[in-house]
Amino acid sequence: MPRGISIGVVGGGAAAVCLIDALAHSASDPGSLTVFEPSPHLWRGRAYQVDTETLRVNATPDDMSVRAGDLGHFERWLETRDKVSGVTQGIDRLSGARFAPRPVYGEYLEQSAYAALGDLRRKGWRVDIIGEAVTTAGRMPNQVLLRTGPGRARAFDYVVLSVGGDSPKDVYGLTGTPGFVGDPYPIANRLQDVAEDDHVAVIGSGLTAVDIVLSLAAQGHQGRISLLSRRGVLPGVRQRPVPFALRHLTPERMKSVAQGRRDLAIEDVAAVLRAEFRDAGADLDAVVHEILRVDLEDPVDRLRRQIDEVDSPQMGLRILQRAVPETGPDVWPLLREDEKVQVLRAHYRTIMSLCCPMPPSSAAVLLDLVESDQLEMFSGLLDITPNEDSGFDVVAADGTEFRADRVISAVNASEGRIPTSALSLATSLMRARAASRHPHGGLQLARATSRLTNNGRPDPRLYGLGNIAAGALFFTFGIPSLVDRSQDIVTAILEHADTVSAAGSGAQLVAA
């Protein structure tokens, strides 16, 4: 690797932390690193900012490590913190597993980022943190030019876009209406003026909606809470962790299956999946049934059943939750296009609800609220409009109508949609023919390297990390996926830099 290569990272959230940690543990010769992040949540992003500790991550410590090849990194950090504070937080009362408070995980991200930056500085790297948004980019022959404002531009040998996700969607045009909360985070601030007897309507039924309900319950809310969504699908309930490793449905095996073929059919993947389930003694039909019946089963019945199955010895859902983030990004680019469309239209939300489940104790709180008649769930939401006097009028598809005092949006932006804040940047790259949109969201990129592509040609100077790659890789936002992709990117950058350096040295020898 030549001395002095420069890397620009657009975005300073969890994805950037994984990338910087990978760089710190792979790079040898010094260079320069510049991170652009305009928000006040450097390293934490929107998800892990300082907030109420009622909010928990939805995965165990071994799935939250930012260190490639070291699943115990976060767990050791937690143990050290426990000794210093004298408090152990996040032990789930139903499963015994640990789900750390999200603000605590944000603290881990911060410390990991600064530790990695310190390692880079000790190796002679120059590190700069720029609190400005990158607005446009230009492609030079051997560099990428990033602009943050009029007259301010910096050129880099390599650029990584880790711009995160978009802000919540205002589906019903309620922005500016008194009593409407468009973005619930930080929840500690956004919910503090909710009266304890207010009827609160929450738009959405995913993990963000669960955060809102749990936080209201923790602050002693006494009023009704209504979860409103089109399908009424809650996140699944995470089962007690059981250690295991994939034997068949691995990235290496799927590459072997696809070798010499133009694409794969779902049945090709299913054949390997059946072998995985067979060797684990798991019931594949039960998992398929779980996916297909999600719209047929009452959401409360499903919640109650999944709580009862926390200690189930059946491995099916556990295999699915490991395979989708671990192998999904390798399988997805190989699938036939018509089958990708079918999965996205018919099963994406269901698969995500099962693969991103909530902790069992969170599910138990929801069920308690339902059984006490404080929490009610409505599917088939049609409309929400401001009432002429105050509050909001809610209309559901089954004819239910009621009035709510507060409305809080928990509707996340579509996965892979280019964030509004990064749209001008992405547009400038597309106009320069340095990038192209993916038909399923985000930007096109090469699976093996995460290089941005245009007309199928990967650009060795430009990379995408996180949600901006969702269309190309299907599952991109879990920490294990971010760690894997970060390692791919760092490896690709360093190998390309070595190739350029060797080519330059050869040219100098010929000239001499």
The residue-averaged pLDDT of 80-104 equals 94
Strand partners, 139: 144
Domain count along the chain? 3
Q: Which two tokens stand for residue 355?
A: 């693969």
State the chain's maximal CA–CA distance in angstroms: 85
Which sign does the torsion angle of CA 171, 176, 181, 182 carry?
positive
Whether residue 389 is found in the same domain as residue 479? no
How far is 234 from 236, CA to CA, in rounded Å?
Answer: 6
One-letter amino acid for residue 263 of the chain:
D
Other beta carbons within 10 Å of 237? 28
**How confident is the model at residue 471, as a pLDDT?**
86
How far is 40 from 332, CA to CA, in rounded Å?
Answer: 35
Would you say residue 88 lies in a domain?
A: no
Whether residue 227 is found in the same domain as residue 136? no
Q: Which among 148-157, 356-365, 377-386, 476-485 has the top mean pLDDT?
A: 356-365
CA 471 to chain centre: 13
The residue-averaged pLDDT of 153-161 equals 97
Domain that holds residue 477: 6-50+116-167+415-511
Among residues 454, 450, 488, 491, the alpha carbon closest in space to that of 469 is found at: 450
Would you say residue 59 lies in a domain?
A: no
The residue-averaged pLDDT of 74-95 equals 95
Whether residue 12 is found in the same domain as residue 155? yes
Would you say residue 219 lies in a domain?
A: yes
Whether residue 193 is found in the same domain as residue 284? no
Whether residue 315 is found in the same domain as residue 376? no
* φ and ψ of 323, to 5 deg: -75, -40
Whether residue 266 is found in the same domain as residue 285? yes
Q: Which two tokens stand for residue 258?
A: 């696809």
The residue-averaged pLDDT of 337-364 equals 89
CA 396 to chain centre: 30
Whether residue 45 is found in the same domain as residue 145? yes
**How confident is the model at residue 414, as a pLDDT?**
60
Strand partners, 33: 7, 127
Q: Residues 463, 444: contact at Cβ < 8 Å?
A: no
pLDDT in tens, 253-290: 988 888 888 888 889 898 999 999 999 999 999 998 89
Q: What is the pTM of this model?
A: 0.92
Whether residue 121 is found in the same domain as residue 209? no
Determine how β-strand 381-386 pairs with β-strand 6-10: unpaired
Whether residue 419 is found in the same domain as residue 500? yes
Whether residue 397 is found in the same domain as residue 368? yes
Q: Last residue of some domain: 330, 355, 380?
A: 355
Determine how β-strand 457-464 pairs with β-strand 381-386: unpaired
Would the pLDDT of 415 be above 60?
no
Q: Residues 405, 195: contact at Cβ < 8 Å?
A: yes
Whether residue 46 is found in the same domain as residue 127? yes
Percent of the chain scoring above 90 in pLDDT? 68
How far is 306 from 362, CA to CA, in rounded Å?
Answer: 12
Would you say residue 330 lies in a domain?
A: yes
Q: Which two tokens stand for residue 283?
A: 């019931």
Task: Give the 3-state secondary structure of residue 193.
Answer: coil
Would you say residue 494 lies in a domain?
A: yes
Least confident of 158-167, 195-204, 469-478: 469-478
Would you say residue 301 lies in a domain?
A: yes
Would you say residue 81 lies in a domain?
A: no
CATH of the domain at 481: 3.50.50.60
Whether residue 348 is found in the same domain as residue 274? yes
Would you say residue 61 lies in a domain?
A: no
| Residue 3 banded pLDDT, cuts 50, 70, 90 | low
